[in-house]
């Protein structure tokens, strides 16, 4: 029986949702392989409970570090697996075993992060470009979450398209009870975004558009949900300095609170400049939220006709698109109905089955 190692060191994060769901559904399929899950301390118990027949081992090696290049490589060499699935690009460049790599997108090589030291970040970004090219050529197969990313990676790395398999992700309905947010008590209408605040998420333009919407809707609120970090703190300070009212930063929220936001928002806004799949918008659709989205990168591919689109570089176009949904009830109801249909087109089970096929082909 072949042994497959899955790198799940990012489990439990926003990025890690993909690997968590992959492992969960691979376990349900019960394929004819021995699986070893490598993860960090705080997720070992999670996987031990979720996949009791898979071996779960501690792998404390932080991404983009010398420890990853040396310590993680040593761990893999000692395990001697038949195949390693790196569920993210970062991996030991000197590891010589057979590998499959999931490449979520190329956003990291195209956008700066003001939270980081600019000189150090620029150097790391150049290294990251080479790691992407190296991983694409070295891996037996590449997995991407959308056709857009597949084409982008083929153009960037010059690998053959036949080497890349697209396995669309999916969105599940949150099953825990909805938990209202006290900050939104009173029933005032709100639009929302959930996720990271890095520059490619384009939150500055969303906030600028919101200031214009406030002229039309003085009671409207903008909810920005996501774990506080230096980027969120910077944006929050800017909102405070400009005295922009009705912008609510929730910080980290529970699954129940997220469900409540999706179910009660006037619209979910996704202003991103670059995505590999755009999972939050699909999650919003599952919960009956009308989605107003950027038409950048993969988003039209994933959302189809179930979103109302805008140019993410044009603040006035963002204003117009959001206003369309707030004023046109027929459009709003069409988006809600189309979103529920669109979300059903995607399946974690199918994603796991497609990944399993990639394993089989790579091992043969």
CATH of domain 3-170+347-363: 3.40.50.2000
How many CA atoms lie less than 13 Å away from 359 in the CB half-sphere?
25
The whole-number pLDDT of residue 290 equals 98
* Residues 259 and 188 sit within 8 Å (Cβ to Cβ): no
In sign, the C-alpha dihedral spanning 137, 141, 142, 146 is positive
Instruction: Please state the CATH superfamily assignment of the domain spanning residues 182-343 in this structure.
Output: Glycogen Phosphorylase B; (3.40.50.2000)
Cβ contact 274:297 at 8 Å: yes
The pLDDT of residue 115: 65
Q: Where are the beta strands (DSSP E) in the chain?
A: 3-7, 34-39, 55-58, 83-86, 99-102, 141-144, 164-166, 190-194, 221-225, 247-251, 267-270, 291-294, 307-310
Using alpha carbons, list the distances in angstroms from residue 5 to 35, 146, 205, 274.
6, 24, 42, 30
Q: Are 326 and 209 in contact (CB under 8 A)?
A: no
CA angle 68, 120, 157 (to 5 degrees): 65
Over residues 102-128, the pLDDT tens digits come to 999 999 888 877 767 777 778 778 888
Q: In sequence order, what are the beta bridge partners of 33?
A: none
Parse the chain into domains and list their residue ranges: 3-170+347-363, 182-343
Strand 221-225 and strand 247-251: pairing?
Answer: parallel
pLDDT at 120: 76
Whether 3-170+347-363 and 182-343 share one fold: the answer is: yes
Q: Pick out the chain residues at pLDDT < 70.
A: 115
DSSP string, 48-115: HHH-TTSEEEE--PPTTSHHIIIIIHHHHHHH--SEEEESSS---TT--S-EEEE---SGGGT---TT
- Residues β-bridged to residue 225: 194, 251
Say how far apart CA 266 and CA 301 lie, in whole Å. Answer: 24
Q: How many CB atoms lie within 10 A of CB 161?
A: 10
- What is the rounded distance in angstroms from the CA atom of residue 193 to the CA atom of residue 201? 10
Are the CB atoms for 153 and 136 separated by under 8 Å? yes
Beta bridge partners of residue 294, listed in sequence order: 310
Rounded Cα–Cα distance for residues 43 and 94 (Å): 26
Residue 129: CB partners within 8 Å, gap ≥ 6? 109
């Amino acid at each position: 029986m072949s042994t497959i190692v899955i790198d799940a060191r990012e489990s439990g994060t926003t990025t890690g949702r993909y690997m968590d769901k992959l492992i969960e559904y691979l376990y349900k399929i019960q394929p004819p392989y021995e699986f070893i899950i490598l993860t960090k301390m705080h997720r070992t118990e999670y996987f031990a409970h979720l996949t009791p027949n898979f071996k779960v081992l501690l792998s404390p090696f932080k991404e983009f570090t010398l420890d990853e290049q040396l310590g993680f490589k040593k761990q893999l060499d000692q395990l001697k697996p038949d195949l390693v699935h790196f569920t993210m690009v970062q991996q030991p460049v000197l590891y010589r075993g057979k590998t499959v790599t999931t490449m979520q997108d190329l956003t990291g090589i195209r956008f700066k992060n003001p939270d980081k030291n600019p000189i150090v970040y620029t150097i790391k970004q150049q290294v990251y470009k080479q790691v992407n090219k190296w991983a694409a050529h070295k891996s037996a197969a590449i997995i991407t979450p959308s056709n857009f990313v597949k084409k982008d990676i083929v153009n960037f790395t010059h690998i053959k398209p036949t080497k890349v398999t697209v396995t669309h992700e999916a969105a599940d309905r949150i099953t825990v009870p909805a938990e209202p947010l006290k900050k939104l008590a009173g029933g005032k209408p709100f639009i929302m975004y959930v996720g990271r605040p890095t520059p490619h998420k384009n939150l500055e333009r969303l906030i600028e558009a919101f200031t214009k919407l406030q002229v039309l809707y003085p009671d409207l609120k903008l909810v920005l949900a996501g774990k506080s970090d230096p980027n969120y703190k910077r944006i929050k300070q800017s909102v405070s300095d400009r005295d922009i009212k009705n912008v609510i930063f929730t910080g980290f929220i529970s699954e129940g609170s997220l469900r409540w936001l999706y179910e009660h928002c006037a619209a979910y806004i996704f202003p991103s400049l670059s995505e590999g799949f755009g999972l939050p918008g699909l999650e919003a659709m599952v919960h009956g939220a009308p989605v107003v989205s950027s038409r950048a990168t993969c988003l039209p591919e994933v959302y189809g006709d179930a979103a109302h689109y805008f140019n993410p570089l044009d603040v006035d176009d963002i204003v117009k698109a959001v206003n369309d949904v707030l004023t046109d009830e027929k459009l709003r109801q069409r988006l809600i109905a189309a979103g529920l249909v669109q979300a059903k087109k995607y399946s974690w089970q199918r994603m796991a089955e497609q990944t399993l096929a990639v394993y089989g082909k790579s091992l043969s």
